Amino acid sequence: MKVTALINDELIEEVKKISGGKNITESIVTALNYYVYQNKIGYVMDEIKKEPMQLKEGFTPYGFRKLNRGK
């Protein structure tokens, strides 16, 4: 999608430097993808805080390993 936006030159240069993009478009796409990724992680963390995972009583990492290995 083609977009016209007025963005501060210093901000664009900083985004280019941090993202390592080859050009402005690649740099902005990288920055936007990172922003979306971070917000998705934040959403998942908020959901986990609301309803933490509960392991079954007596559940151990060793038992889980055996289960995964089909033993």
Query: Closest by alpha carbon to 28, among 16, 10, 40?
Result: 16
> Is 28 in contact with 35 (CB distance < 8 Å)?
no
Q: Is the pTM of this model over 0.75?
A: no
What is the domain extent for residue 31? 9-68
Q: Is residue 50 part of a domain?
A: yes
Closest by CA position to 16, among listed 6, 30, 2: 30
For residue 52, being part of any structural domain is answered with yes
Q: What is the pLDDT of residues 27-54, one digit of tens each?
A: 999 999 999 999 999 999 999 999 887 7
Q: Report how many domains make up the chain.
A: 1
Any domain includes 4: no
Q: Has residue 1 been placed in a domain?
A: no
Is 49 among the domain residues? yes
User: Which pairs with CB-CB distance under 8 Å and at least 24 residues apart come from 7-12?
Assistant: none
pLDDT of 71 above 70: no
23 located within any domain: yes
CA quadruple 7, 13, 18, 21: dihedral sign: positive
